[in-house]
Amino acid sequence: MSTIELNQPSATAPQIPVLKHAAIDGMEAYRALVAEAERDHEAFWARLAREHLDWRRPFTKVLNDANAPFYQWFEDGELNASYNCLDRNLINGHADKTAIVFEADDGKVTRITYQALYHRVCRLANALRARGVKKDDRVVIYMPMSVEGVAAMLACARIGAPHSVVFGGFSAKSLHERMVDVGAVAVITADEQARGGKTLPLKTIVDEALTMGGAEAVKTVVIYRRTGGRIPWIAGRDAWLHELEQAQPDTCEPEWVGAEHPLFVLYTSGSTGAPKGVQHSTGGYLLWAAVTMKWTFDIKPADVFWCTADIGWITGHTYICYGPTAVGATQVIFEGVPTYPNAGRFWDMIQRHKVSIFYTAPTAIRSLIKTADANAAVHPRSFDLSSLRILGTVGEPINPSAWTWYAEQVGGGRCPVLDTFWQTETGGHMISPLPGATPLVPGSCTLPMPGIDAAIVDETGRDVPNGQGGVLVVRKPWPSMIRTIWGNPERFRHGYYPEELGGKLYLAGDGAIRDPDTGYFTITGRIDDVLNVSGHRMGTMEIESALAANPLVAEAAVVGRPDETIGEAIVAFIVLKTERPTGAEAKRVADELRAWVGKEIGPIAKPKDIRFGDAMPKTRSGKVVRRLLRSVAKGDAISQDTSTVENPAVISQFADAV
Ligand code: PRX
């Protein structure tokens, strides 16, 4: 387990009043919803599903648990996600409302109404159909942050083709792996991505991935012209997005699908093996996206919502593509990075676009604290942030000092700061404060959302008392939960409903502890070999395999070490096939290995520290002693017992990080 600062309530924490007139107004209202769900779990979810979604065919069954843990929700109901996110807003009188305020890397701002977004999605949906993409076909989306990226996702949803969005920072090899695993028939990409004043050749990377073999089913590559940069072209397969759109009518009959129809497959890292394709449903997933927009973010018609995530991650799926549109909100979508052209970009954008709800990652906050401390011009107090009313964080623990700075310097002590805990697999928020109800404690994600039956148990599945740490589980199924791992149902069952816990509890993979007085949850970090680097999930095994594939490397082991800014830093222990390098040679090899990992997985997986030794410290039975490596990575003096280590002498060789 790894956290950077144990999340203890701080006596100096700012007292932030709860908001008045919020969707969940006061603790009594929260408790009433929790009680409603406890009384009749199915009736609770059925009520929400009827109130928050438009169904083509109403469901009559709520939960089917006959084949647990492959739970089914609202299974005989029919709907379409893009209908709920677009057509429904037009019918409800929001046609002229701004759906998206898009700000490009260079600062250019464009706005698109719900009406215009609807037409763009319909044209693209028609174009995909015209190219032979049918219901159930999978489409990979490898796009920059853009209106077009969101439109691509909604267009897939419109025709019932599950999308699989791959983060634009992943390498050709990672993209290839995902395209093959999901069995894509089409790819939607851009010529280039523009971020932080630099460009990245997305289309070239797609071409490279498509030549690696195994993805021959891809017959169409749609390209959004973002920069106009030169790109390779394969006639017949490649098509410009704008040309396809021009040729199509601007309405498109949605494909009505069953509630369990897979809306998307999103790859995420596990502790072992290749990244897994988390499969989400249409009805249950969309329901929670819409409900949490109202409950957690208290979204109101006049709000301007801004989630800074990328559509390549679950946060961008739920709180950019589906959640805000399902509730007809106006949202900001940003192409660039928080530090370009300077580290005041976020605050400047909040001021200019009058953002009222802001949702970002602790890593971004921590890095902006540093720059703001060094330069008053980029400090949030140099901007008018009075439009803000709610702040949120996601993806990793937020340490109380960063929380307090965010609350005071960005939120002016007025705005609730919501530390939202959830996962790719959970589809939406699981444990989070509610802005109109929950008294806040920095460093705690507080209480489970109504209907989410979270608990903390020991390794055998038994409840632990408050104040005692354990593993976080969810007892009852909930509609937005992962349905399976694409193509690997057994991995789903064993990984999330392990026998050791009795096979009936959803295992989140995180440790947690509840406060003895308040019952508030604090997440203490992953209990498996998954790292959280800048809020991005990385499997240590994945990075190890990438390193081990390098011809210079004999053995590689990867662990995390706490890092003040990015949460956890990647540390690689390497044994080369040749002699252990030292001095300038060690630096040269380390840089070569970093570049290699960048190519194999993507820049986010590059190890921060690389340490070389003659052999890996192992037990007599040949197991790498990770616990020891973690201490070395932190720079701790090795005080622990090394008697079980076969070759303790090598430990000191790894002392220096390159
Ligand atoms: O370890 C937890 C951490 O991020 C993991 C989920 O990562 P991912 O599937 O990529 O989704 C991130 C965005 C929802 C969790 O298992 N995590 C997420 N939110 C928090 C968190 N850790 C502490 N506090 C949080 N609020």
pLDDT tens figures, 334-388? 999 999 999 999 999 999 999 999 999 999 999 999 999 999 999 999 999 999 9
- Give the residue whose CA is nearest to atom 11 of ligand 1: 423
CB 49 within 8 A of CB 59: yes
- Give the residue whose CA is nearest to atom 10 of ligand 1: 537
CB 93 within 8 A of CB 75: no
Q: What is the pLDDT of residue 6?
A: 41
* Encoded tokens for 80: 């379409």
Best probe residue, ligand 1, of 288, 360, 391, 422 (max atoms within 8 Å of C-beta): 422
| Alpha-carbon span 146 to 150, nearest angstrom | 7
- Distance (angstroms) between ligand 1 centre and the Cα of 569 equals 16
Best probe residue, ligand 1, of 423, 432, 481, 604 (max atoms within 8 Å of C-beta): 423
- Distance (angstroms) between ligand 1 centre and the Cα of 490 equals 23
Q: Which of 146, 151, 109, 116 is nearest to 353 (CA)?
A: 109
Best probe residue, ligand 1, of 523, 527, 531, 568 (max atoms within 8 Å of C-beta): 523
CB 143 within 8 A of CB 189: yes
Close Cβ partners of 106 (under 8 Å, ≥ 6 residues apart): 194
- Give the residue whose CA is nearest to atom 12 of ligand 1: 395
- Give the residue whose CA is nearest to atom 24 of ligand 1: 397
Residues (pLDDT < 50) of the chain are 1-9
- Distance (angstroms) between ligand 1 centre and the Cα of 147 equals 26
Q: What is the pLDDT of residue 11?
A: 52
Backbone angles phi, psi at 164, to 5 degrees: -135, 105
- Give the residue whose CA is nearest to atom 22 of ligand 1: 396
């820049």: which residue's tokens? 603
Binding site: what residues are annotated? 195-198, 315, 395-397, 419-424, 510, 526, 534, 537, 553
Residues in contact with ligand 1 (CB, 6 Å cut-off): 268, 314-315, 394-397, 419-424, 445, 508-510, 523, 526, 532, 537
Q: What is the pLDDT of residue 3?
A: 36
Q: Where are the beta strands (DSSP E) in 564-606?
A: 567-576
The burial class, CB within 10 Å (0-12 / 13-18 / 19+), for 249 is: exposed
Atom of ligand 1 nearest to the CA of 425: 9
Q: What is the pLDDT of residue 7?
A: 44
Q: Does a cis peptide bond (omega within 30 degrees of 0) precede residue 69?
A: yes
Taken in order of first residue, the domains within the chain and their CATH numbers are 116-248 (3.40.50.980), 534-654 (3.30.300.30)
Best probe residue, ligand 1, of 322, 396, 431 (max atoms within 8 Å of C-beta): 396
- Distance (angstroms) between ligand 1 centre and the Cα of 535 equals 7
| Alpha-carbon span 484 to 276, nearest angstrom | 10
- Give the residue whose CA is nearest to atom 4 of ligand 1: 395
Binding site for CoA: what residues are annotated? 195-198, 315, 534
Best probe residue, ligand 1, of 265, 440, 510 (max atoms within 8 Å of C-beta): 510
- Give the residue whose CA is nearest to atom 13 of ligand 1: 395
Atom of ligand 1 nearest to the CA of 419: 26
- Distance (angstroms) between ligand 1 centre and the Cα of 567 equals 12
Binding site for Mg(2+): what residues are annotated? 553
- Give the residue whose CA is nearest to atom 18 of ligand 1: 395
- Distance (angstroms) between ligand 1 centre and the Cα of 423 equals 5
